Amino acid sequence: MALVLDIASWILLLGGGALVTIGGIGIVRFPDVYTRSHAAGVTDTGGAGLILVGLMLQGGGTLVTVKLILILIFIFFTSPTATFALVHAAYESDEEPQLDHDLRNEPPDRETGS
């Protein structure tokens, strides 16, 4: 049982580490602040989430696990707020996004489909 938990926790930790690395690559590869924020999103949702859940499996039924759960909750509430503040500030200061499809002038209830 302990072995199964260890294996599961290692898979989660390695998966999280891989997502953090991929997010870092994306921040370098993508062209502008908006697309880069998507890459950063991989780091702070998937990456942080998998690593924290992996650590919870290591912590077992202790107070450490409770603290990790609280960290996860706080990250999931604060990181979108921070990302929004960043992207909103960029947009407000007229940082023009590089777009393939600019649908800003279409009403929100348009028919979907590309």
Partner 1 sequence: MVHALSLGCVLFGTWLLLSGHFDPLLIGLGVASCAAVVYFTHRMDVIDHEGHPVHLTLRGVGYWPWLTVEILKANIDVARRILTPGASISPTMLRVRSTQPTDLGRVIFANSITLTPGTVSVDVGEGEILVHALSRGGADDLAAGEMDRRVTRMAGGN
2 or 100: CB nearest partner 1: 100
6 or 32: CB nearest partner 1: 32
Non-local (6+) Cβ contacts of 97 within 8 A are 32, 33, 34, 35, 91
Token pair, residue 89, equals: 């500030």
State in Å, rounded, how far the first CA of the chain is from the last one.
49
Question: In the complex, which residues of this chain contact partner 1 (CB under 8 A)?
Answer: 19, 22-23, 25-26, 29-30, 32, 34-35, 37-39, 41-42, 45-46, 49, 63, 66-67, 70, 76-77, 79-81, 83-84, 87-88, 91, 97-104, 106-110, 112-114
- For residue 101, the minimal CB distance to partner 1 (Å) is 4
Taking a C-beta distance cutoff of 8 angstroms, is the pair 47, 71 a contact?
Answer: no
Report how far Cα 72 is from the mean position of its chain's Cα atoms: 12
- For residue 56, the minimal CB distance to partner 1 (Å) is 14
